[in-house]
A and B are shown apart, each in its own frame.
Chain A
Amino acid sequence: MEALLALSIGVLTACGVYLVLRARSFAVVLGLTFLSYAVNLFLFAMGRLAIGQPPVIGAAATHADPLPQALVLTAIVIGFAMTAFVIMLALKSRAELGNDHVDGRGEA
C-alpha cells in the first residue's frame, strides 16, 4: 500500500507541475487541482497508513492519528475555494483579454 500511495502522490505531483507550466489557463487550473490532490494525499499519509483503527486513544490497542485528517480537511476546504476562485479569474481573464493565454497574449 505504501508503494501505491507514494506512486500516486508522485504521479499527481508530476502531472500537476507539468500542467502548471502550460501556457493556457485551463491547463494551469487543472495542474493546480492535481497539485492540491497530491498534497492532500501527502498530508494524509504523514499520519502513517493504518486500516481499521479508531482515531481515539484507548479504544483499541493502537490508534490512528486524527490530526492529519483535520489538516487535510482544512486543506481541502481552502483548496476547493481557491480552485473556484481561480476558475472565475481564468474566465474573467478570458473575457477581458480575449484569449486564454496566461500572459494575455493572443496567439503565441
Chain B
Amino acid sequence: MSNHLVIAPVLLPFLAGVVLLALRALPLPTQRVIAAIATLGQIVLAALLLNAVSGGDILVYELGNWPAPWGIVLVADRLAAWMVLTTALLALFALLYASGGSDGSGRHFHVLFQMQLFGLSGAFLTGDLFNLFVFFEILLIASYGLLLHGGGARRVRAGMHYVVLNLLGSTLFLFAAGLFYGVLGTLNFADLAVKIAATPPENLGLVRAAGLMLFGVFALKAALLPLHLWLPAAYAAAAAPVVALFAIMTKVGAYAILRTHTLLFGAEAGPLADLFLPWLLPAALATLALGMLGVLAATRLAQQAAYLVVASVGTLLIAFGLGSNDGIAAGLYYLPHSTFAAASLFLLGDAIARRRGASADFFKTADDIPRAGLWGGLFFMSAVLLAGLPPLSGFLGKFMILRAALAHPMLPWVWGVVLATALLGLIALARSGSLLFFRSHPGKTVAATPFSPMRHELVPIIGLLALAIGLTIWAGPASDFARAAAVQLLQPAAYIGTVLGGAR
C-alpha cells in the first residue's frame, strides 16, 4: 500500500517530537542526533512522496478507512509534495545551524522544532478545512514557543503581538469554517468544491462572506498588506535558526490561498468563481512595493531580511494572482527559491552579527570581521539570489513571472512594480553589503571572541545557497514540475474525483 506514504511525513515529525520530549533529559548532542535523523528521514519521505505523485497521480489516505466526505482524508498532489519537500530541506539546514549552539539557549528547542514540522506537513497534506485549522494551530503553537526561544525583552514584545494576532486569525478561521459547514454541510475540500459550485442563489452571500473571511485569515498568515505589520518585528527579534525555518511560514499562507483559490473558488465555481482574484493581485503588488521600501529603510541586516520576506511573499502572490497556468507555475518555481534564499540571509546575518561584536548587524562602521572575504562572498551570493540578478534562480523566477504577466490586463502595473522593486532591492542590498564589509575601520579586526566552530555556521548557509543554485542548474525539470503542478491545480475535477471515491 503506497498510500501509507501520504501520512508518513505527518507521523514522522510527530513521533520524533514525542520521543524527544520523553528523552528530554538526554544531553543536547544526543537530542541533536535524533532530531537530525528524523529530519533526514523526513526529506527521504518527502522525496518518495514527490516521486509517487510526479506522474500526476493524486494519492488519498483515508484515516480509519472512512470514505471521503465523512472521514478525515489526507491528500497528496504535486503541490502538496512540492511544499513538503521544500519544508523538509529547509528544516534540515535550520536544524544544523541550531545545533551549533543556539538550541541550548532555551528549553525544548528540538521538541518544538519537530512539532512545527508536524504542523507544516499536516497543513500541506490535509484534505479538509477543519484539519487545516487544526494543523495551523499546531504549527502556530510550536512557532510561539520557537519565537520566544532564548527569551529577552525584544522577543517577548514581538511574541505578544504575534500570538495575539494569530489567535484573532484562528478565531476568524473558525467563524469561516463554521459558516461553510452551516451553509454547505461539509468541510472536506473536494466536497466543498462540489457544493460551492452548486450554491443556491439565496446562500451566495453567506458563502462569499465565508470565503473572503478565509482569505483574510490566509492573508494574515502570508503577511499580505495590510496584515503584514507583525512580521518584521517578529522575524527580526527571533533566533536565527528559528527565523530560517519561519521563512516557510508565510508560504503556508500563500499555499492555503492558492489551494482554496484553485479548488474551492476556481473557474468551475459558477457565480463564486475567482472570488479572491480582485483582491489578490492589487494587495500583492502593494505588499511587494511596501516590503521593498522597508528593505531600503532597514537599519539592521535581520530587519532587512525580514522585509525581504514580505517582498518575496508579494512577488509570490503576484504570480498566483495572475490566475493563469504560467503565473502559478512561475510562483511555484519562485517559492522554494525565495524560501532558501531568505533563510540563508537570516543565518548569514546572525553569523556576521556574532563577529562584529557590539555593532552586531547594524549598518554602521565597525572593525573588520575576521575572514571578511568569505562572509562577504556568501553575502554577495545571497544578495544576488534575493535581488533577482542573473544568472541565479531569483532571476529565473522573476523572469517567469514577468513573462506570465504578458497576457494579463494589469501588465503595466505588474512589470512596473516588479522591475522597480528589483532595482530598489539591488540598491539596498548593495548598500548593506558595502556598509557591512567595506566601510570598516582600516586595519582593525574585531578581537577574537569565542565563536562556535565555523563549520556549524558555514555548512547550513552553503547548503541553502547550494539548494538555490541547484534550482538554477536544474531549472528545466523544476519548472516543468511546477508547470505540471499548476495544470493539475487548475483542473480540480481530478482531485475531486479521486477524493470523493469516483475511482474506487
Asked if A and B are interacting partners, one says yes
Q: CB within 8 Å of B: which residues of A?
A: 20, 25, 28, 32, 35-36, 38-39, 42-43, 45-48, 67-68, 71, 74-75, 78, 81-82, 85-86, 89-90, 92-93, 96-97, 102-104
A48 to chain B: which residues have CB within 8 Å?
182
**Residue B156 interfacial (CB < 8 Å):** yes
Contact status B168-A20, CB under 8 Å: yes
Q: How far is the CA of A39 from the CA of B164 in the complex (A)?
A: 16
Q: How far is the CB of A75 from chain B (nearest CB, A)?
A: 6
Residues in chain B near residue A82, CB distance under 8 A = 137, 141, 167, 170
Taking a contact as CB atoms under 8 Å apart, the answer to whether A75 and B174 are in contact is yes
Chain B nearest CB, measured from A56 CB (Å): 14
Cα A102 to Cα B160 in complex, Å, equals 7
A97 to B154 Cα, complex, angstroms: 9
Cα–Cα distance between A32 and B22 once the two chains are bound (Å): 32
Structural contact, B167 and A86, CB atoms closer than 8 A? yes
Q: Chain A: which residue is nearest B182 at the CB level?
A: A46
Give chain B interface residues in 442-493, CB to chain A under 8 Å. none
From the candidates A35, A71, A90, name the one contacting B160 in the complex (CB within 8 A).
Answer: A90
Chain B residue with Cβ nearest A70: B130
Q: Are B164 and A20 in contact (CB under 8 A)?
A: yes
Residues of chain A within 8 A (CB-CB) of B144 are: 85, 89
CB of B163 within 8 A of CB of A68, answer no
Inter-chain contact A97/B153, CB cutoff 8 Å: yes
Is the beta-carbon distance between B181 and A68 smaller than 8 angstroms?
yes
Interface of B toward A, CB cutoff 8 Å: 130, 134, 137, 141, 144, 148, 151-153, 156-157, 159-161, 163-164, 167-168, 170-171, 174-175, 177-179, 181-182
Cross-interface CB contact of B157 among A38, A46, A47, A97, cutoff 8 Å? A97
Which residue of chain A is the closest to B137 with respect to CB atoms?
A78
A-B contact count (CB 8 A): 83
Residue pair B163, A89 in contact (C-beta under 8 Å) = yes
Tell me if A102 and B161 are in contact (CB < 8 A).
yes
Contact between chains at A35 and B157 (CB < 8 Å): no
Q: Is the CB of B141 within 8 A of A81?
A: yes
Interface-central residue, A47, A71, A93, by most chain B CB under 10 Å: A71
Knowing A39-B174, A43-B174 touch, does A86 contact B181 (C-beta < 8 A)? Answer: no
Q: Is the CB of B161 within 8 A of A85?
A: no
| A87 CB to nearest chain B CB (Å) | 11
Q: Which residues of A contact B130 (CB under 8 A)?
A: 71, 74
Assembled-state Cα–Cα distance A68/B178 (Å) = 8
Q: Contacts A35-B168, A67-B181, A74-B134 hold; do A89 and B156 have CB atoms under 8 A apart? A: yes
A-chain residues with CB within 8 Å of residue B137 when the two chains form the complex = 78, 82
Q: Tell me what chain B mostly uses at the interface: helix, strand, loop, or mixed.
A: helix
A-B contacts besides A48-B182, A92-B156, A96-B153, 8 pairs, CB < 8 Å: A35-B171, A43-B177, A47-B181, A71-B178, A82-B137, A86-B167, A89-B148, A93-B156
By Cβ-Cβ distance, the 5 closest A-B pairs, closest first, are A46-B182, A43-B178, A104-B157, A39-B174, A46-B178
**Distance A42 CA – B179 CA, assembled complex (angstroms):** 9
The answer to whether A36 and B171 touch across the interface, beta carbons within 8 angstroms, is yes
16 pairs from A and B in contact (CB 8 Å cutoff): A20-B164, A20-B168, A25-B160, A36-B171, A38-B171, A39-B175, A43-B181, A47-B182, A71-B181, A81-B141, A82-B141, A85-B141, A89-B160, A97-B153, A97-B156, A104-B160
Q: Looking across the interface, which residue of chain B has its beta carbon closest to that of A48?
A: B182
Give chain B residues whose Cβ lies under 8 Å from the Cβ of A103. 157
Residues of B within 8 A of A39 (CB): 171, 174-175, 178
Distance (whole angstroms) from the CB of A61 to the closest CB of chain B: 20
Whole-angstrom distance between the Cβ of A32 and the nearest chain B Cβ:
5
Are B178 and A102 in contact, with the CB atoms below 8 A? no
* Nearest Cβ on chain A to B444's Cβ, whole angstroms: 35
CA–CA, A35 and B175, complex, Å: 10
Closest to A85 in B: B144
B153 surroundings in chain A (CB, below 8 A): 96-97, 104
Q: Which residues of B contact A104 (CB under 8 A)?
A: 153, 156-157, 160
Contacts of B159 in A (CB 8 A): 89, 93
Query: Of all chain A residues, which has the CB nearest B157?
Result: A104
Q: How far is the CB of A100 from chain B (nearest CB, A)?
A: 10
Q: Which residues of B contact A47 (CB under 8 A)?
A: 181-182
**Does A46 lie within 8 Å of B179, measured CB to CB?**
yes
Inter-chain CA distance A32–B160, complex, in Å, is 13
Q: How far is the CB of B143 from chain A (nearest CB, A)?
A: 12
* Contact between chains at B156 and A42 (CB < 8 Å): no
Residues of A contacting B141 in the complex (Cβ-Cβ under 8 angstroms): 81-82, 85
CB-nearest residue of chain B relative to A71?
A: B130
CB–CB B175/A32 < 8 A: no
The one of A36, A38, A42, A96 in contact with B152, judged by C-beta atoms closer than 8 angstroms, is: A96
| B134 x A86 contact (CB < 8 A) | no
The residue among B144, B171, B175, B179 with the most chain A CB atoms within 10 A of its own CB is B171
Which chain B residue lies CB-closest to A29? Answer: B164
A35-B171, A42-B175 known; A86 vs B164 contact (CB < 8 Å): yes
> Are the CB atoms of A32 and B167 closer together than 8 Å?
yes
* Distance A2 CA – B144 CA, assembled complex (angstroms): 38
The CA-CA distance from A82 to B412 in the complex, in Å, is 45
Of chain B, the residue at the smallest CB distance from A86 is B163
- Nearest CB on A from B115, distance (A): 13
Contacts of A96 in B (CB 8 A): 151-153, 156
